[in-house]
Amino acid sequence: MNTHTILITGGASGIGFGIAAYLAKLGHHLVIADIRLDAAQAAVDKINTEGGKACAIALDVSNAAQIAALPQQLAPLQIDVLINNAGIQHVARLEDFPAQKWQQLVNIMLVGPALLTQAFLPAMRQANFGRIINLGSVHSLIASPYKSAYVAAKHGLLGFAKTLALETGDCNVTINTICPSYVKTPLVEQQIAAQAKENNISEADVVNKIMLEPMPKRAFIEMDELGATAAFLLSDAARNITAQTLVIDGGWTAR
């Protein structure tokens, strides 16, 4: 198996760290990017302690100037694989949704991935190898109330991937979107409390009736499922898989 240098945003915790740790165990070199350098370094320390190879950088994915400077900042390291994972959530009715917060979610989860891809794509073209993996969501395909900015941004990733796949058909670069339903992460834990408040129900009812009831499997998605899916997309076997939406949702979208 070929090993690659992989940059993952929001890699200090949650899904980002789970995927990073999985890929590090396969021998890949991870660049953990997070808005908090101390958190990124703590994640790197965990990976390296377990025999992996990783380094940390501070990155605000809503800062276009920081993104544009990244290739030169990381040189001579060349990024083969970009995993756009950074994300935040805000749960509110549209009438109560702060405009600045709405813009922030879109900047982090849609504009950021586009600008990061723009930054690293030239070197991928030159090397005739690149893999871009966006972390979408079941909310890239369906909607839930009180999540207008998140749903809009995650839907946007699918259109972005389709467009970029058309633009990279002339080289060995692919772009795909992994779309899980709920994964038990700190972000989801926060959502449970917020949804309980918005819907005026208990947190247990949020988990059972809102999060798991739409899934025939009725189970949270596990980190190894996400890591293994990312690993497959890096493989030669996936070289002609591009513009695709890989849905890991326990059957949610079958209805």
Catalytic residues: 150
State how far the Cα of 253 lies from the Cα of 248, in Å rounded to an integer: 10
Three-state SS at 6:
strand
- Closest by Cα among 188, 184, 175 to 246: 175
State how far the Cα of 233 lies from the Cα of 42, in Å rounded to an integer: 27
Task: Compute the C-alpha angle 93/87/106, nearest 5°.
Answer: 60
Cis, peptide link before residue 76, omega less than 30° from 0: yes
State how far the Cα of 123 lies from the Cα of 71, in Å rounded to an integer: 9
User: Partners of 135 in the beta sheet?
Assistant: 178
The structure tokens 């995993």 sit at 83
> Quick one: which H or E segment has residue 115?
helix 112-127
User: Cβ–Cβ contacts within 10 Å for residue 36, how many?
Assistant: 14
Distances in Å between the alpha carbon of 74 and those of 7, 70, 106?
A: 10, 6, 26
By residue count, the chain amounts to 255
Q: What phi and psi, each to the nearest 5 degrees, are found at residue 145?
A: -65, 155
